[in-house]
Amino acid sequence: MATKNRPLVIALEEHYWDADVAKTFGSGEARDPELRRRLDDLGALRIREMDEAGIDVQVISHGAPSTQRLDAATAVPFAKRANDRLHEAVRAHPGRFAGFAALPTADPKAA
């Protein structure tokens, strides 16, 4: 953690993989199981690895592919649910996680 002698270390654009989005692309099973386990985690494993690496805060975003490859009718509800789940993880770990939203770019107004 940051101290007078050590600044806050923030890791930007750290990725996670939302299970519902992964199912849509059918790519979840194709990923390396260990990598998939780590990408799925928004809790204890991620925080332990952050602590081991000296990272105070992660800014988390959805890994590719995300909702940008979905049609508008599918992308909007998927992005909302993925963002809601990420929001819950950020709320559960205040001071450790921040998040970038997944945007349904197929629907610019909704994005």
Kindly report the length of the chain.
111
pLDDT tens per residue across all 111 residues of the chain: 666 788 999 999 899 988 777 777 665 555 678 888 898 899 999 999 999 999 999 999 988 778 888 899 999 999 999 999 999 999 999 999 999 999 999 999 998
Alpha-carbon torsion (35, 37, 42, 43), positive or negative: negative
Please tell me the number of Cα atoms within 13 Å of 91 on its side-chain side: 6
